[in-house]
Structure 1
Amino acid sequence: MDPGTYTLLVSLPASTDVTFGAAGERRLDPGWYAYTGSAFGPGGLSRVERHRRVAAGEHDVRHWHVDSLTGHPETRLDAVYVTENRDHECAIARALNDAAEPIPGLGASDCDCETHVAYAPERETVAATVHGEHEAER
Structure 2
Amino acid sequence: MDKGIYTLILKSEGNEIRVGALGEITIPKGYLIYVGSAQGPGGLIRVNRHLLAAHDGRKPHWHIDHLLQDPSIRIIATVSAATTERHECRLADAVGGLCIPKFGCSDCRCQSHLFLRSIDPIESIVQSFTSLGLIAAIRRY
Structure-1-length-normalised TM-score: 0.89
Does the alignment pair 1:101 with 2:98? Answer: yes
Q: Report the identity percentage.
A: 35
Distance in 1, matches of 2:112 and 2:26, equals 16
Q: Secondary structure at the match of 1:29?
A: strand
Deviations 1:52-94 (A, max 9, x none): 0012x12423111111111211111000011102432111111
The structure 2 residue matched to 1:120, chosen from 113, 117, 120, is: 117
Distance in 2, matches of 1:134 and 1:96, equals 9
Where in structure 2 are there 5+ consecutive unaligned residues? 136-141
Q: Secondary structure at the match of 1:41?
A: coil
Q: Does the C-alpha gap of structure 1 residues 129 and 87 become closer, same or farther in structure 2, counting only changes over 3 Å?
A: farther
Which has the larger share of strand?
2
Deviations 1:80-130 (A, max 9, x none): 011102432111111222xx312101011111101100001222xx32221
Please show how residues 22-33 of structure 1 align to structure 2 within 5 Å.
22-33=21-32
Letter in 2 for 1:105: K
Where in structure 1 are there 5+ consecutive unaligned residues? none
Larger deviation: 128-137 or 37-46? 128-137
2:86 alignment counterpart: 87
Aligned-pair Cα RMSD in Å: 1.3
Letter in 2 for 1:133: S
Distance in 2, matches of 1:61 and 1:129, equals 32
Which has the larger share of helix?
1
Distance in 1, matches of 2:127 and 2:33, equals 14
Please show how residues 1-138 of structure 1 align to structure 2 within 5 Å.
1-13=1-13, 15-55=14-54, 57-85=55-83, 86-97=85-96, 100-123=97-120, 126-135=121-130, 136-138=133-135
Distance in 2, matches of 1:62 and 1:42, equals 19
